[in-house]
Structure formats: structure tokens, C-alpha cells
Structure 1
């Protein structure tokens, strides 16, 4: 089972560091590094979601990750995960075994924010207010200063996105929201239900918008592991039935 993890705006794969140790040897964690950060810092970040989703789908296919996989995304990553799942389905490929969305209102609710147009000072304050600088504000501010262009590009991706009606996905979903998250309330996370014909399991945890980096992280990982265990058990059961003599 491959768990492909898509980042929040301005985020890097480092947020998924050590996830493999918690999720077990039979889950291959695949953090996605987008242009404009890390080893891809010289590449221009995307500002259009359609182009980004098409290229992500191409990359998953090229690296043989579009089979027997699940998707996890937080904030912008949740929107990307949903659109990538639709893109792969529309190309005739399997949907993910499970779609995990975190800290993001449902796709049809996007279009009400213009944070990418904020001044640098206001954008810094927004990240601070959301809890994105962590406990050490000095280190966090220095890091954020280098990330502002990528963050602004990512916010442009999200805030210029407009949902277009298509049939719901068939895969089950799990949605995680946090008590102190002003961007994705419990009600807005519940709205994901209309985007799948499968089940939607919703968890409401303690924390702010960046709760996946806080005390609720162990709970989040346990629930992801539990869902993947259920999928792996069903897969083994199917294989066992196929092996039985007629």
C-alpha cells in the first residue's frame, strides 16, 4: 500500500518525516515535493491548479504509484488529493483505496478567500495567527521569510480554484478537522460527504490549522493506520478467496 502525501500551502515533505515508522512496514509513505522548495527550489511554483493536478497525475503514473494507493492531503494538499483522484479516475485508472482529507473545507466551498493578494506583512501575520510558526517565533519567522513566494503561489492555486460538478468519487474518505481551525470548521469538513459515494468518517481533534504538527498527530496517524489496516485486510481476504479451489 502506497500512501501518497500532498503538502499544505508552502509546505514540504518534512511534515511527513517519521510517518513510515508509525504506519508500519507494509505502508510505503510517499511525500510529494512540489516545485519551488527543497531540491526543487530553482523550479517555478505552480499558480494554476489544473496544470498542477495534471502533472501530479502524470508523475504518479510514471513512478507506478497509481495502483494500490491511498492519498492524504492537508489544507491545499486535501484539495490536490481530491482533484488528483478525479483526474486519475477520468483517465481510466483506479481511484485511491482511501482518500484522507485534513484541514480543508469541501471543494465546492472554495472561492471566498483572497489571501494571496495580502501584503507580505499581512501574509506573515496570517500564518502566525493560524499557528504556522510553531513555538519558536524567531526561527519560524526566518523560515517563513524564505517561503513567502512559494506560499503566495500556493495560495493562488487554491484561491483561484473553482469546483466543477462531476460525479462523486467511489472511494471511502476520512476527514480530519480541528477545534481551533478558522479555515476548515467541522461543518465545512462535513461537506466533503457529497463528494463520495463511499463512506465518510470524520474526526474532530484538538488544535489549530496546523494540528498535524501538534499533540493530535499520534491520533491522526493511528486513525490513518486503522483505515489502511481495514483495506489491507479486505485485499488479503479477496486474494484468499481467489486461491481457494472451485
Structure 2
């Protein structure tokens, strides 16, 4: 079964590359590259949520077969995108493939995204980075390398523009596919709103919390992969690592 993975704001498909050895041979990793970075660096960045969703749906459609069952994993912005993709597929009766399981990692619910929609993408670099740090949206590894900051800022700005154009909250539809929430214990801005996902997800099978903050995903690749491999989980439970 394929696992399509979506990165956090400013991230590329490379953050999931080292997952392959942990998932193989049970799960085939399909790490999605967003336009304007990595293998797609020659393409223009997309700054609109709906346009980006359409681009990602095209990619998944190209890389699946009719009747195929897949899993989606997304962290932060990637989780929000994965949620919208799953919702679109589930509501589309003639969908080519089916979402078998959804993993939302470090992801705030749609209503919180709208309530906390910070229009920061047009701020000067210094203020932009400061605001990102305040929101917990900057990895320490990036902050400690000016060259890396300069390289990533355009894609991070584009991704925040994507967040600022998010509007996938206009109906009362609850996603039915089994879902796992994965969060960092110290990621307070996400943990505080964790329960609100019940308004959008009908079948939360598992809530798992790892030690660490928003970027715990970079610290526990083996354990996250183990969690995915051990799925399906048929009883609701909360666990911590």
C-alpha cells in the first residue's frame, strides 16, 4: 500500500526520504514534492490553497491505479492539505482511489486555522522570521543557518500565503476515513485544540503524542514509521512515546 506524505511549510519531499528503510517492504513511500522546491524547483511556487490542492490531486491521481487504497500523512500545513485531499476524495463518488487511513501530524483543525490566520507573509524578513519563531513554525536547525534561511524563505512565504487563502470549512461534512492524530507533547498551540478535530473527523482511531515540540517529526522517524506499520488500529487509545 502506498503512503503519500506531505511536508510542513517550507519543507520538501526530502524530509521523508529516510522513512523508506523503516517502511519497506510493507508500505511504499510516496513523498510528495510541492511546486517550487526540490525536484520541482524549476516550477513556480503556488500561493493559493485551492490551486495547490488541485496540483496535489493531479499528482496522486497520476501515481495511483483504479480502485487502489492509499494512506495520507501530513505534518502541519501538510496535514491540512492531506485533510482537504481526503475530504475531496471521500465526497467524490467517482474517485479513482480510496483513502484507507489519514495521519494528521502537528495539525490544527480548520476553524483554528481560520481564527488564527496570520497575514504575515508580506512582512520584511526580520519580522517574518520573528513571527514564525513566535508561532513555533521555524525549526532550530533552520534558524541557526543564515544560508538555509535565505534559501527557504520564498517557499515558506508562499506556504503561509497558502494558509492565508485556506477556506475549506464551508460545510458540515465530517470525514469518515479512519484517522490518527500525532502531536508533540510540548506543541501547545496544537495540543490545546486537539479535541476540536472531533468536529471534522468521524473516526479518530488513535491519538499519539511524542516528546517534543512542533518539529518532533524530525526526532522520531523510526517510531512514527512503526506506528504506521502497525496500523490498522481498531480501538481508540492514547499513547505517548
TM-score by structure 2 length?
0.85
Which of these residues, 220, 229, 232, is aligned with residue 225 of structure 1? 229
The residue that corresponds to 2:199 in the other structure is 194
Query: After the TM superposition, which residues 134-213 of structure 1 pair with which residues of structure 2 at under 5 Å, given as runs?
Result: 134-135=140-141, 137-138=143-144, 140-162=145-167, 163-184=169-190, 186-213=191-218
The residue that corresponds to 1:68 in the other structure is 69
Contact 2:178 2:205 in 1 (8 A): yes
Aligned mates of 1:82, 1:65 — CA distance in 2: 21
Contact 2:26 2:229 in 1 (8 A): no
**Structure number having the greater strand percentage:** 2
Distance change (3 Å), C-alpha of 1:41 and 1:95: same
Matched residue SS, 2:99: coil
Matched residue SS, 1:124: helix
Query: After the TM superposition, which residues 235-246 of structure 1 pair with which residues of structure 2 at under 5 Å, given as runs?
Result: none
Contact 1:46 1:157 in 2 (8 A): yes
Please tell me whether residue 26 in structure 1 is matched to residue 26 in structure 2. Answer: yes
Matched residue SS, 2:11: coil
Q: Which has the larger radius of gyration?
A: 1
Contact 1:54 1:87 in 2 (8 A): no
The residue that corresponds to 2:121 in the other structure is 116
Matched residue SS, 1:17: helix
Query: After the TM superposition, which residues 11-90 of structure 1 pair with which residues of structure 2 at under 5 Å, given as runs?
Result: 11-64=11-64, 67-90=68-91
The residue that corresponds to 2:239 in the other structure is none
Distance change (3 Å), C-alpha of 1:208 and 1:16: same
Structure 1, gaps ≥5 residues long: 232-246
Aligned mates of 2:34, 2:183 — CA distance in 1: 24
TM-score by structure 1 length?
0.83
Could you list the per-position Cα deviations for residues 19-55 of structure 1 after superposition, in whole angstroms to 9, with x for gaps in the alignment?
Answer: 1211230200000011111222221111111111122
Contact 2:13 2:32 in 1 (8 A): yes
**Structure number having the greater helix percentage:** 1
Aligned mates of 2:70, 2:54 — CA distance in 1: 18
